[in-house]
Every structure is written in C-alpha cells, then in structure tokens.
Amino acid sequence: MLAGDPTEATEKAEEFLKERSLSSYYDDVAIKGLQLAQADLDRDALDQIRLARIRDTVLEFVNDLSDQTDQEPTGDRPTADAEAAAAVDSAASEPVYADLPILQKDELRIEWNGDNPVLCVAGRTALDEAAAIMFAQLCNVHGLHARVEGPDALATANIFRLETEGVILVCLSYLNATNPAQIRYAVRRLRRKLPRAQIMVGLWTGLDTAERSATLMESSKADMWASTLREAIRTCIVSARPDIDAFVQPDLDPSRDGRDARRSVSML
C-alpha cells in the first residue's frame, strides 16, 4: 500500500481475510501502515506527491475489496501466504468484538435513511483521508451509506460550500493528535455548519489510556470518540438503530443529557 501497488495490497488483504474480518484487516494492518507513513510525514520525510499516491492506492484497493463482508471467517481456508500469516499472528489472538450486524434499510432510524447519512472528513492530510476512505467502506458494508471529503473541506473558505443534506453523523479522521486545538477548531466549524448532527472524532492511533482519550474528547467538544475503525463503526450502528438498548451497556444512565449518553456509547 505504501509503495503504491494496489494490486499487491489487495492480494495480501484477501489472504488475510481468509482468517480475519475486514475491520480487523483495516485496524491491525492497513491503519498501522498509515501510521508508519504518518511517522515519516512528522519528520518531513514524505512529500505531497507520495502522500497523494498513498491515498489513491488506498482508494483503489478499497474499491477492489468492496465485495467483502465484515465478518469473522470460519477458518476452513487458512492462508498459505507467509506475509498474511505473519499479519494474522500479529493481530489480536481473538476477535475484539462479536460480528457486528449488517443493517437493512427497515432497521434504521428514519433520519438515517438518506443517501449519505455519514460524512467522513479528513482532518489534516491525505493520510487522514485514506483512513476516512476505509471507514466509509466499513459504513457501507454495514448498511450505513457514507461519503468522504478531503481535508480542504474544513478550510474556512470551503466549509460553507460543504454538501451536508441528510448528514446525521460526521466522523473527523486523524492519524495524529499533536495539535488538539486543530481538532477543536474543526469540530467548532462543523458544529456551526451542522448544528444538529453528531460529531465523532476518529483518532486512529490506538490510544493506550482511557484518561488520555477522555481528555482529548473533552477538549475537542465532540459528541463521540473512537480510536479504532471497529469502535467507530460500532458507534454508528448504535446511533442508527432504533433498538439502541440492545447495544448500550447496562450502566448507561438515561438521565444524562444526549451528548453525555453518546459519549458513553462511544466507549463501548
């Protein structure tokens, strides 16, 4: 993927998917690849041409994987590819969650039946956009239509032209959180543009402490927070289904206001 070879990236992904789910591939392999690229970008070792190439490669191989489902395979066809097997071994030994449902249109809340109720927006760079492309595909796989906007959409000169009809939830995609103020300003601009939409910040770094996650979420003033694509898609499913009680934790306090409740859902 980082070398700009979507065909080989797809082949390796399909081998991995013989043993693990699509969301596992994105979280445990593809996002980690983007994190390597982010590290290069942070030390000024990645130019804009390579950034765009990585983003375009991700778009192409995500399209190649568009017929994949997000379910744990039965394991009756283990991969014979050494690299894919190594990636499987490096992933979590067991699935983090049980399979998430594929929602049908009649299972969604009425407001989620629009053309694109989920808007995925890249926070800063083409790498953030690449991660947003993966998340949008997972949304579509689970029956939640989504579209992607690049980081330029958040510019003051552009955000007023942002198409937002039918948007119920916005996911801001980041691979780096070195500047929390930038996240806060992005949330503020989106809040002005979409005052009724839920805003989720996806920081795809696998935050190692709940305390740090809570601090960043509080400072950003977002409604929800996710550190993996799997968490993010689960949060969207919770928001989109009318039978939300089937997904929330028993200790969720309904007396709290909507924003606090949504924050608790995001931590599931």
pLDDT-above-70 percentage for the chain? 80
Domain boundary, last residue among 47, 66, 90 = 90
Domain that holds residue 180: 105-266
The answer on 109 and 41 residing in a single domain is no
Retrieve residue 239's tokens. Answer: 């928001």
Angstrom distance (rounded) from CA 199 to CA 191: 8
**Judgement on whether residues 80 and 121 belong to the same structural domain of the protein:** no
Q: Which strand (E) or helix (H) includes residue 173? A: strand 169-174
| Count of alpha carbons within 13 angstroms of residue 131, beta-carbon side | 37
Distance CA 181, CA 35 (A): 21
Same domain, 154 and 36: no
AA letter at 219? S
In a domain, 207, yes or no: yes
Strands 118-122 and 169-174 come out as parallel
Rounded Cα gap, residues 117 and 194, in angstroms: 12
Residues 131 and 31 in one domain: no
Residue 95 counted as domain residue: no
Please state, in angstroms and rounded to a whole number, the distance separating the CA atoms of residues 150 and 162. 11
Is 128 inside any structural domain? yes
30, part of any domain: yes
Give me the number of domains the chain comprises: 2
Give every residue of the chain whose pLDDT is below 70, as ranges. 75-76, 80-82, 84-85, 88-89, 92-98, 206-214, 244-268
Nearest alpha-carbon partner for 38 in 147, 188, 173:
173
Q: What is the pLDDT of residue 94?
A: 56
Instruction: Please write the tens of the pLDDT for every residue from 23-54.
Output: 999 998 999 999 999 999 999 999 999 999 99
90, 125, 150 — which closes off a domain? 90
Residues 164, 140 within the same domain = yes
